[in-house]
Chain A
Amino acid sequence: MLSYILRRIASTLPVMAIVALFVFSLLYIAPGDPAVVIAGDQASPEDVERIRQSLGLDRPFLIQFGSWVWRILHGDLGTSIFTNLPVSTMIGQRLGPTLSLMMVTLLLTIVVAVPLGVLAAWKAGSLIDRAIMAFAVFGFSLPVFVVGYVLAYVFALELEWLPVQGYTPRAQGVWPWLQNLILPAIALGCVYIALIARITRATMLEVLQQDYIRTARAKGLGQGGILFVHALKNAAVPIVTVIGIGIALLIGGAVVTESVFAIPGLGRLTIDAILRRDYPVIQGIVLLFSFVYVLVNLMIDVIYTLVDPRIRY
């Protein structure tokens, strides 16, 4: 197992290298020039050129790429063109809010979606099943920002239960931290809940037809035990897979959610950096995201062995 994990981690290196080259090339050929944005409207072409030189943007592609890779290999993601702050500092500042949002969303999703899926499968064809599936279609169809605005209007503006925007670090207490995350997590989680509820239902329906479930019923096991101990455990592999894939959805959705709820996370940093052509920041974030994807896939593979002892690497 350990050698498998080490091999998988080692295999991420070429993937990361390809991602790095791809992102760097894409940014190099993309239109837009950070020097123009920095120089402002009053600047002369000579001013823009001097800024470009001071940022090293006038150097050939291979030299720019080489020096960037060299810095990466030394653990230096570079310095933001605009803020003059190290990219690692900027990512560090934004990591907490995004991780918190993703964690709460993930938790909320699993707690809500899996039981809903199980219930729908158990009551397949009934009114409850149809209601849950209707909710799933609804949740899948609504854009994150629409759900966000509606939630903010109802729970923040009308009821005044929760804040509209912002982020409070966990160090300032669990409730202040959580109250800023509840609405964004529900908004972001809607699609995700719908997806996992549907997958759980479909997988459970298949498992509930199996002989060992009939045997469990025949020996007098209670419904809860059948559903959650025998059936769900055997339906877990596809569900865990979808949860893993869904983390990619979460990262994409976080960009919108963080904007709607003014959460200072990585999603907003990504958009700001793209709009300003802040190349070092874009490159740093894309590298981080690609690393997270690879890591999540690895974790999913490891979790398979935990939920299904038959799987061995």
Chain B
Amino acid sequence: MDRRTVLKGLAGAGGLALSGLSAPAIAQGASARTLRFVPQANLANFDPIWGTQYVVRNAAALVWDTLYGVDSALQPQRQMVESEEVTDDGTTWTFKLRPGLKFHDGEPVRSKDVVASLTRWAARDPMGLMLKALQQELTAVDDRTFKWVLKQPFPKMLYALGKNNSPCAFIMPERIAQTDPFKQIGDYVGSGPMKFAKGEWVPGAKAVFEKFADYVPRQEKASWLAGGKQMLLDRVEWIVMPDPATAAAALQNGEIDWWENPIADLVPVLKNNKNISVDIGDPLGNVGSFRMNFLYPPFNDVRARRAVLMAMSQEDYMRALVGDDNSLWKSLPGFFTPDTPLYTEAGGEVLKGKRDLDAAKKLLAESGYSGQPVTCLVAQDQPITKAFGDVTADLLKKLGMNVDFVATDWGTVGSRRAQKTPPGQGGWNMFHTWHAGSDCINPAPYTAIRANGDKAWFGWPNSPGTEKEVTSWFEAKGLDEEKAAVARLNKVALEDVVYAPTGFFLSYTAWRKNVSGITKGPLPFFWGVSKSA
């Protein structure tokens, strides 16, 4: 073969490729029963017990059902369960499943599936771990009945089984639920209203859910995770878009139907488009925070932590994050989600009113701070932590602190914040994060408020008073007792500065006007959503 032959061959191949242009191409019009949705993040794994990211929970809620579901009034309602009984001493719970429940592979949902699923969930969930510690036995009585016997009463049982905080108590077939809770499942069969199209899953790009024809919804009106999950769509496509500007353009162009969380900067553009609706997505919002390390100076001294709290302005944090849109934030003189039953401002005076920098400096000096570097971890790839980090760095400098500003990515912060070594040896003094408001409605899912030292969340706060009131809440009988316990908890946690709340903030969600039935909630609910052509 010589050079000219090869060149002729290449030219011929090019011609062949171009000849494909003459083939008719059929445009794939979007079906009115297919919803194209841009989620908050990439669905990188699909095991809601193994991976506890919110995006996994949100997708899992389509595929796996729960025994109970929390409604918009934050009350657990029956979902897969038909009835329950509890003995007078509160230690034995007997549950009966609804008839006709089926998994996506056609098998009926049986009690043994529930037992295996709850066992796996209880190994990973904070409330599940509490139940596991109290458990005497968890057994299947018959195909539709199971029994949970405890050593002592657990009044929050139904809430634990129906809560929307990750990990939720999703029910899987026994063969899948028997997987080690620290290993990922590879079979995605559930009994929820949608089936997961595993073959179409491209992690980082696309996930597809198809309507499960045999799903039997409850008769009640849908409300968050409770009630009748009536699917009006045949197919839901999750399209991952890492670039917000692209998502905004795609929504305006009609290439997508619903964008879960548009960034604040682009909301004015969307609001000006007559084909797009924009509204607050999750009324429970988020609680911003930065945590100080209780193990090392200067923040091992409560006076240094209080000095920071006295000087900080939540408005500065919130404006750095959401700009001038006042409907997107509130100051938060406490730790619990505003407009929820247990919300309290008890002890919150330290975060209210004019900031007193001089008094804060004096208190910091009393704590013995003498200019040592304060290692402040700030993930630059997360807009929320980046905004908070910039404000904190400015605040600490105003207080006369020597800031070691570690600008890094979220993965590194996640790893480094777990280090208990001194700040100069790979450890840290403070880091920034935020908590979903749905995790801050009561102490049960609220890991960040726990203050049991070594066992507490990063920063390892030690506040026996806080822990005492967490226990009081768990033991409370009735809302009044719960409110009183949480008010005391809020006060003592602020006194000890378990962490520094930077404010309460909301975000928008946006959708095309031909989509209807979208409801506000802590996760995107697809039941009841429809789309016209």
Residues of A near any B CB (own CB < 8 A): 31-33, 36-45, 47-48, 50-51, 53-54, 80, 82-85, 90, 93-94, 149, 152-153, 156-157, 160, 163-166, 168, 172-176, 259-262, 264, 268-269, 271-272, 275-277, 305-306, 309
Asked if B12 is at the interface of the complex by the 8 Å CB criterion, the answer is no
Asked, given contacts A44-B455, A268-B242, whether A157 binds B414 with beta carbons under 8 Å apart, the answer is no
Q: Which of B45, B180, B245, B455 contacts A83 (CB 8 A)?
A: B45
| In the complex, chain B residues whose CB is within 8 Å of the CB of A45 | 418
Asked, given contacts A38-B51, A47-B124, A262-B250, whether A85 binds B203 with beta carbons under 8 Å apart, the answer is yes
Asked if B408 is at the interface of the complex by the 8 Å CB criterion, the answer is yes
| Cα-based distance from A31 to B416 in the complex (angstroms) | 8
Q: Which of A54, A94, A172 contacts B28 (CB 8 A)?
A: A172
Using C-beta atoms within 8 Å of the partner chain, give the interface range for chain B. Answer: 35 or more
Interface-central residue, A90, A260, A262, A277, by most chain B CB under 10 Å: A262
Can you list 28 residue pairs at the A/B interface with Cβ under 8 Å?
A: A31-B408, A31-B412, A33-B411, A33-B415, A37-B411, A40-B51, A42-B167, A43-B52, A45-B418, A47-B124, A85-B203, A149-B245, A163-B255, A165-B255, A166-B239, A172-B26, A172-B28, A174-B21, A174-B23, A259-B243, A260-B246, A264-B202, A264-B206, A264-B240, A268-B205, A268-B242, A269-B204, A305-B3
Asked, given contacts A262-B243, A272-B42, whether A84 binds B249 with beta carbons under 8 Å apart, the answer is no
Q: Which of B25-50 contact A (CB under 8 A)?
A: 25-28, 42, 44-45, 47, 50
CB distance from A93 to the nearest CB of B (A): 5
Q: Which of A40, A84, A93, A277 contacts B202 (CB 8 A)?
A: A93
| Cα-based distance from A43 to B433 in the complex (angstroms) | 15
* A-B complex: 8 closest residue pairs judged by Cβ atoms: A173-B25, A264-B205, A40-B52, A175-B25, A33-B415, A32-B411, A83-B203, A164-B249
| In the complex, chain A residues whose CB is within 8 Å of the CB of B411 | 32-33, 36-37, 275-277
Asked, given contacts A40-B53, A42-B52, A176-B28, whether A261 binds B246 with beta carbons under 8 Å apart, the answer is yes
Q: Which of B194-242 contact A (CB under 8 A)?
A: 202-206, 239-242
Chain B at the A interface: mostly helix, strand, loop or mixed? loop
- Look across to chain A and name the residue whose beta carbon is closest to the beta carbon of B415: A33
| Cα-based distance from A39 to B21 in the complex (angstroms) | 49
Interface-central residue, B45, B126, B381, by most chain A CB under 10 Å: B45
| Cα-based distance from A31 to B408 in the complex (angstroms) | 10
Judging by beta carbons under 8 Å apart, are A42 and B447 in contact?
yes
| In the complex, chain A residues whose CB is within 8 Å of the CB of B354 | none
Q: Which of A43, A80, A166 contacts B255 (CB 8 A)?
A: A166
| In the complex, chain A residues whose CB is within 8 Å of the CB of B166 | 40, 42
CB distance from B261 to the nearest CB of A (A): 16
Judging by beta carbons under 8 Å apart, are A165 and B241 in contact?
yes
CB distance from A273 to the nearest CB of B (A): 9
Asked, given contacts A38-B51, A40-B53, whether A174 binds B415 with beta carbons under 8 Å apart, the answer is no
| In the complex, chain A residues whose CB is within 8 Å of the CB of B3 | 305-306, 309
CB distance from A275 to the nearest CB of B (A): 6
Using A262-B240, A272-B203 as known contacts, list a sample of 13 further A-B pairs with CB atoms less than 8 Å apart, ordered by residue number in A.
A31-B415, A40-B51, A51-B182, A149-B245, A152-B249, A157-B253, A174-B21, A176-B28, A260-B243, A264-B240, A272-B44, A272-B204, A275-B409
- Look across to chain A and name the residue whose beta carbon is closest to the beta carbon of B182: A50
| In the complex, chain A residues whose CB is within 8 Å of the CB of B186 | 84
- Look across to chain A and name the residue whose beta carbon is closest to the beta carbon of B19: A174
CB distance from A307 to the nearest CB of B (A): 8
| Cα-based distance from A84 to B51 in the complex (angstroms) | 12
CB distance from A204 to the nearest CB of B (A): 20
Judging by beta carbons under 8 Å apart, are B246 and A165 in contact?
yes
Chain A at the B interface: mostly helix, strand, loop or mixed? helix
Q: Which of A39, A174, A262 contacts B246 (CB 8 A)?
A: A262
Judging by beta carbons under 8 Å apart, are A173 and B245 in contact?
no
| In the complex, chain B residues whose CB is within 8 Å of the CB of A275 | 381, 409-411
CB distance from B228 to the nearest CB of A (A): 30
CB distance from A154 to the nearest CB of B (A): 11
Q: Which of B7, B21, B204, B249 contacts A268 (CB 8 A)?
A: B204
| Cα-based distance from A83 to B409 in the complex (angstroms) | 21
Judging by beta carbons under 8 Å apart, are A90 and B203 in contact?
yes
- Look across to chain A and name the residue whose beta carbon is closest to the beta carbon of B43: A83
| In the complex, chain A residues whose CB is within 8 Å of the CB of B447 | 41-42
Asked if B184 is at the interface of the complex by the 8 Å CB criterion, the answer is yes
| In the complex, chain A residues whose CB is within 8 Å of the CB of B250 | 164-166, 262
| Cα-based distance from A44 to B450 in the complex (angstroms) | 12
Judging by beta carbons under 8 Å apart, are A36 and B414 in contact?
yes
Asked, given contacts A38-B50, A306-B7, whether A157 binds B252 with beta carbons under 8 Å apart, the answer is yes
Judging by beta carbons under 8 Å apart, are B51 and A164 in contact?
no
Asked if B274 is at the interface of the complex by the 8 Å CB criterion, the answer is no
Q: Which of B180, B185, B206 contacts A54 (CB 8 A)?
A: B180
- Look across to chain A and name the residue whose beta carbon is closest to the beta carbon of B454: A45
Q: Which of B368-417 contact A (CB under 8 A)?
A: 381, 408-412, 414-416
| Cα-based distance from A2 to B493 in the complex (angstroms) | 76
CB distance from A244 to the nearest CB of B (A): 16
| In the complex, chain B residues whose CB is within 8 Å of the CB of A37 | 411, 414
Judging by beta carbons under 8 Å apart, are B249 and A153 in contact?
yes
- Look across to chain A and name the residue whose beta carbon is closest to the beta carbon of B245: A149
Q: Which of B243, B253, B412 contacts A156 (CB 8 A)?
A: B253
B165-189 vs A: 1/0 string, CB under 8 Å?
Answer: 0110000000000001011111000
| Cα-based distance from A265 to B245 in the complex (angstroms) | 19
| In the complex, chain A residues whose CB is within 8 Å of the CB of B53 | 40
Judging by beta carbons under 8 Å apart, are B203 and A157 in contact?
no
